[in-house]
Amino acid sequence: MKPKSNKPKVKAPKSLSSANAGLRTWVEISRSALKNNYQIFRQLIGKKTKLMAVVKSNAYGHDIFQFAREMERLGADWLAVDSIVEGTALREHGAKAPILILGHTLPERLAKASGHNLDLSISTKEGLEALVRAMEHVSNRGLRFHLKIDTGMCRQGLRLAELPAIIRFLKQKSVPTENLVGIYTHFAAAKNPAFPRDTRQQSDLFRQAVGLIEKAGYSPIRHAAASSGTLLFPETHFDLVRIGISLYGLWPSAEVAAALGDHIKLQPVLTWKTVVGETKKLKRGDRIGYDFTETLEQETVAGICPIGYWHGYPRALSSIGHVLVSGRRCRILGRVSMDILIINLGPKAKDKVGEEVILIGKDGEKEVNADELAALTGTTNYEIVTRLNPLMKRIYSK
């Protein structure tokens, strides 16, 4: 007969499902919210314009493989990634939609794009020359590409003045017209509807670039608008739009939200959770965490949570960030550690070990969203969600 254990039994909260049982931290993704956001953009762009879902950088922290699968299921026409590494990984995980690599591809890896049916971005004369050399090692010269045009952002892209030489080079090397699949640009300042001039100037330059390419006998897909451009400048929809941040239910800027939030209802798809790992009664005068950066002014119960800045919770939120526990906002106490948060559960807290803690998301009427965390840390919602550690499990649910 086995002796009875004296160890206290800790029951998992009823809110934990089999999908997240045994996890200290996880990310939940709502398919219904995702569908809502996707349908909003489908209605905005109409039937003639295609939709490219931007899933680069681990789908802005939402899991590139699961998110791309959802996008294909919903009917996205294209997927966009940053690198050939992301593109080949998607193909190996079964992605079927056309994929555009937005970022730089090293010359020695260009030929690999053909075997995985990936479209490349070409933004320099040197890049085009490397592509033509790579075509010599690919059957049927099957390397597809989109020309990136710099219309004023001064990042990637060919300037308008360079295009005549690019066209001559394409003709001299007898590059098949069907290999030039697309032509595109990116707007630098489309996030404020009060100042449309720069975006319209960029759009005009892009139209001139398209005109030169089409006059030379090419008929590429034209695309320029990302989330904010699609929302604010319908004249820039062209043949295709590239939707990133807003598919995830986040506004590209506060200005766009203020202008359109009353009648366009984006829904954040991501909720980030952890648990209370242990609780501790603290008294007035106790000093908290590394360097004792905070001294308690009254007694309270602290919750010790097993996540920190390694998981993606910004260290800059030390003593100022809030989380949600049982529908209450609870402040971070002291410094955010690499793997530990200390939260103020309050002097009369009855929260137990294993209680769910919402780091980003809603609990009833209360909410802590990526925009709040971004405002407190001097960054953007893009950075908050994209920096979520990719090793944390993403759970897609209804």
Residues known to be catalytic: 56, 290
CB-CB neighbours of 149 under 10 Å: 28
Which residue in 314, 344, 324 sits closest to 332, CA to CA?
344
Residue labelled with tokens 């004296």: 6
Gap between the Cα atoms of 74 and 108, Å rounded:
35
Helices 84-92/64-74 angle, 10° precision: 70
Assign 16 to helix, strand or coil. coil
- Going by DSSP bridges, is the β-strand pair 221-223/278-282 parallel, antiparallel, or unpaired? unpaired
